[in-house]
């Protein structure tokens, strides 16, 4: 369901549905505008037990004199507790109530700030996204096809428009990330993903695509080893957004982009293997973030790097026991070909550090099943060699409710990835501490650069439904990292 959102001082007509926002203990200010008296509201809400709790709803037939057919009240909760996340969720809730309407008018409760209205609008965009392009017959019959016009009544229309322009860029980034994660691997291979990166040029980003020969020239034996079992060649996409000063060192984001992970020769069981179309969730978050930063012209220099490969078993695939030489010169014994993400990231991180000397590097990866055992689908694992960066990330996670939980690194864990035959091996030798040993492996490729690793295996896909997401692909990381950049790394006017 696509919404075309605008802000208005006063709605000319209500269309099919008027959405009135209500806070606990207050008569909604919007009621007056739609000709519904306080007494009628009192009666209706008491009868239905509507108390304006956050995201609760009350669906009413509009009075005869109203030009709307439906009036839907959405609770905002207590005014004191009304933070940006509550606005976002309320917007998401509104998106699910559009039904067959062609036009919606939203009446906020009292004097909502422009930024709050923009967050509500972002919630509508996110909640409205669904992956239905392959459904040729059974589109949801209760929904309108095509765009639904949404008018949000705002005190200061110009300020609301300006605030929304920024949040719309975020919405586009999240939707892009979700769409890529949802797309099956027959449609989205490494080349098609690289094309998506190149498309960011339209927003003023510079994009380079390195092919297999160029990566071989650079000595990226770890990444190339993963790719060699697939008939579809790998690419490394390097996206630059230069919104900062000429001599400002960039910040960097690196994403695991395994378009499909069969496990390779260490093949995965059949059950749920189809989920591995989402094993590029890290790269999807990075491209989504780069889209957002470019679209909202963020005042910062940023590099986004995507390691795009497919992990397949074939006659040319790498074997357990193979030893590969990474770009760093360090050698790796491949114990399990299903621990491929860290091999891809090893070369992508080293390349990033050597070429850009970034202020920090943050990698995102659907890296381990073990992080799902530890944290489920509610938080991503955070690993870092830098307490300051780690705190900034965790705090941005709280604010956006894309939550993180820091897990430890340490010499004891580092030893677990030592190999008998090479400098290191690509597993920790047992299932214990599986997410930590994966992070420990990555750490060997970041040198002294401030670095954080987000293991998003549990949060990027297979996500539960909520107000702002109809499910499966979440686009996790885009809102979080946009917030990190906005709060700490952008030049102020
Ligand atoms: N892509 C998987 C991790 C994963 C599993 C993501 C389930 C999302 C859902 C990764 O490449 C992998 O297979 N990791 C192995 C590592 C092991 C072989 C050391 C794992 O977690 O089992
Ligand atoms: Zn794997
Ligand atoms: Zn994988």
Q: Is the pLDDT of residue 229 over 80?
A: yes
Report the atom number in ligand 1 closest to the C-alpha of 278: 8
* 255 membership: H or E segment, kind and range: strand 251-261
Q: Is the dihedral of CA 352, 354, 356, 359 positive or negative?
A: positive
What is the rounded radius of gyration, in angstroms, for the C-alpha atoms of the chain?
24
Mutate to test the pocket of ligand 1, among 226, 265, 338 (most ligand atoms within 8 A of CB): 338
Quote the pLDDT of residue 173: 98
Quote the pLDDT of residue 63: 80
Strand 70-77 and strand 57-61: the pairing is antiparallel
Q: Is the pLDDT of residue 493 over 80?
A: no
Distance in Å, CA 283 to ligand 2 centroid? 15
Strand 331-333 and strand 323-325: the pairing is antiparallel
**If phi over 0 gives left and psi between -120 and 50 gives alpha, with beta otherwise, what is residue 72?**
beta
Torsion of CA 237, 238, 243, 246, to 10 degrees: -160
pLDDT (tens digit per residue) in 179-219: 999 999 999 999 999 999 999 999 999 999 999 999 999 99
Q: Is the pLDDT of residue 23 over 90?
A: yes
Instruction: Give the closest residue to 309 by CA, choosing from 350, 280, 346, 338.
Output: 280
Map residue 399 onto helix, strand or coil: helix
Percent of the chain with pLDDT over 70: 99
Instruction: Give the closest residue to 155 by CA, choosing from 121, 120, 117.
Output: 117
Report the atom number in ligand 1 closest to the C-alpha of 266: 18
Quote the pLDDT of residue 141: 63
Distance in Å, CA 367 to ligand 3 centroid? 6
Q: Is the pLDDT of residue 333 over 70?
A: yes
Distance in Å, CA 240 to ligand 1 centroid? 29
Show the tokens assigned to 375.
Answer: 């944290």
Minimum CA distance residue for ligand 1 atom 22:
369
Quote the pLDDT of residue 491: 87
| Backbone torsions φ then ψ of 128, nearest 5 degrees | -80, -15
* Lowest mean pLDDT across 60-74, 134-148, 197-211, 273-287: 134-148
Q: Match 């004191």 to its residue by tokens.
A: 80
Report the atom number in ligand 1 closest to the C-alpha of 368: 21
**If phi over 0 gives left and psi between -120 and 50 gives alpha, with beta otherwise, what is residue 55?**
left
Minimum CA distance residue for ligand 1 atom 3:
368
Mutate to test the pocket of ligand 1, among 340, 369, 376 (most ligand atoms within 8 A of CB): 369
Report the atom number in ligand 1 closest to the C-alpha of 338: 13
Quote the pLDDT of residue 140: 62
Quote the pLDDT of residue 345: 99
Ligand nearest to the CA of 257: 3
pLDDT (tens digit per residue) in 402-457: 999 999 999 999 999 999 999 999 999 999 999 999 999 999 999 999 999 999 99
Instruction: Give the closest residue to 77 by CA, choosing from 107, 51, 110.
Output: 51
Minimum CA distance residue for ligand 1 atom 16:
339
Minimum CA distance residue for ligand 1 atom 5:
369
Under DSSP, the state recorded for 170 is H
pLDDT band, very low/low/confident/very high, at 69 (cuts 50, 70, 90): confident
Mean pLDDT of 380-389: 99
Strand 251-261 and strand 361-365: the pairing is parallel
Show the tokens assigned to 192.
Answer: 């098609």
Distance in Å, CA 184 to ligand 1 centroid? 18
Instruction: Give the closest residue to 363 by CA, choosing from 376, 349, 350.
Output: 349
Mean pLDDT of 258-263: 99
pLDDT (tens digit per residue) in 76-121: 999 999 999 999 999 999 999 988 888 999 999 877 999 999 999 9
Quote the pLDDT of residue 233: 98
Quote the pLDDT of residue 95: 97
Question: How far, CA to CA in Å, does 470 sit from each of 93, 99, 131, 132, 180?
Answer: 11, 15, 9, 11, 15
Which positions are catalytic?
A: 268, 342
Q: Is the pLDDT of residue 51 over 80?
A: yes
* HEC secondary structure over 260-308: EECCCCCCCCCCCHHHHHHCCHHHHHHHHHHHHHHHCCCCCEEEEEEEE
* Alpha-carbon gap, residue 252 to 284, rounded angstroms: 15
Mean pLDDT over the full length of the chain: 96
Q: Is the pLDDT of residue 12 over 90?
A: no
pLDDT (tens digit per residue) in 114-150: 999 999 999 999 999 999 999 998 666 666 678 999 9
Quote the pLDDT of residue 109: 85
The ligand 1 site (C-beta within 6 Å) comprises 261, 279, 336, 338-341, 366-370, 427, 434, 457
Q: Decide if 119 contacts 167 (C-beta within 8 A).
A: yes
pLDDT (tens digit per residue) in 345-369: 999 999 999 999 999 999 999 999 9
Quote the pLDDT of residue 184: 98
Mean pLDDT of 366-391: 98
Report the atom number in ligand 1 closest to the C-alpha of 366: 6
Distance in Å, CA 341 to ligand 3 centroid? 5
């Amino acid at each position: 369901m696509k919404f075309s959102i605008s802000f208005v001082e006063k709605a000319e007509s209500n269309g099919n549905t008027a959405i009135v926002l209500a806070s606990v203990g207050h008569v909604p200010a919007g009621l007056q505008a739609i000709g519904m008296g306080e007494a009628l509201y009192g009666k209706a809400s008491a009868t239905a037990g509507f108390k304006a709790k956050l995201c609760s709803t009350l669906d009413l037939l509009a009075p005869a004199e109203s030009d709307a057919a439906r009036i839907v009240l959405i609770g905002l909760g207590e005014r004191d507790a009304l933070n940006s996340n509550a606005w976002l969720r309320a917007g998401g809730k509104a998106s699910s109530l559009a039904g067959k309407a062609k036009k919606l008018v939203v009446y906020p409760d009292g004097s909502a700030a422009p930024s709050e209205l923009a967050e509500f609008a972002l919630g509508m965009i996110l909640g409205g996204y669904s992956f239905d392009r392959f459904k040729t017959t059974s589109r949801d019959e209760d929904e309108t096809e095509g765009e639904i016009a949404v008018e949000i009544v705002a005190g200061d229309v110009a300020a609301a428009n300006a605030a929304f322009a920024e949040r719309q860029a975020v919405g586009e980034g999240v939707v892009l990330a979700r769409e890529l994660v949802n797309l099956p691997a027959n449609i989205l291979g490494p080349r098609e993903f690289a094309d998506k990166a190149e498309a960011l040029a339209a927003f003023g980003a510079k994009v380079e695509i390195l092919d297999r020969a160029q990566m071989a020239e650079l000595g990226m034996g770890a990444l190339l080893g993963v790719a060699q079992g697939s008939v579809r060649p790998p690419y490394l996409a390097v996206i630059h957004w230069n919104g900062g000063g000429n001599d400002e060192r960039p910040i960097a984001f690196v994403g695991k982009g395994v378009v499909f992970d069969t496990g390779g020769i260490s093949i995965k069981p059949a059950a749920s293997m189809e989920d591995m179309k989402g094993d590029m969730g890290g790269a999807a978050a990075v491209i989504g973030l780069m889209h957002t930063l470019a679209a909202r012209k963020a005042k910062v220099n940023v590099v986004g790097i995507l390691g795009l490969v497919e992990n397949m078993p074939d006659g040319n695939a790498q074997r357990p026991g193979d030893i590969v030489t990474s770009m760093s010169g360090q050698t790796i014994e491949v114990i399990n070909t299903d621990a491929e993400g860290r091999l891809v990231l090893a070369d992508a991180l080293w390349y990033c550090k050597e070429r850009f000397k970034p202020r920090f590097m943050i990698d995102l990866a659907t890296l381990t099943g073990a992080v799902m055992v530890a944290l489920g689908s509610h938080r991503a694992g955070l690993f870092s060699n830098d307490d300051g960066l780690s705190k900034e990330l965790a705090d941005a996670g709280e604010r956006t409710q894309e939550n993180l939980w820091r897990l430890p690194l340490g010499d004891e864990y580092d030893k677990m990835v030592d190999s008998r035959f090479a400098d290191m091996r690509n597993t920790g030798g047992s299932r214990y501490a599986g997410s930590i040993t994966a992070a420990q492996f990555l750490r060997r490729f970041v040198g002294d650069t401030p670095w954080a690793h987000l293991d998003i295996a549990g949060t990027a896909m297979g996500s539960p439904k909520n107000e702002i997401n109809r499910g499966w692909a979440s686009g996790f990381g885009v809102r979080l990292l946009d917030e990190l950049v906005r709060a700490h790394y952008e030049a102020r006017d």
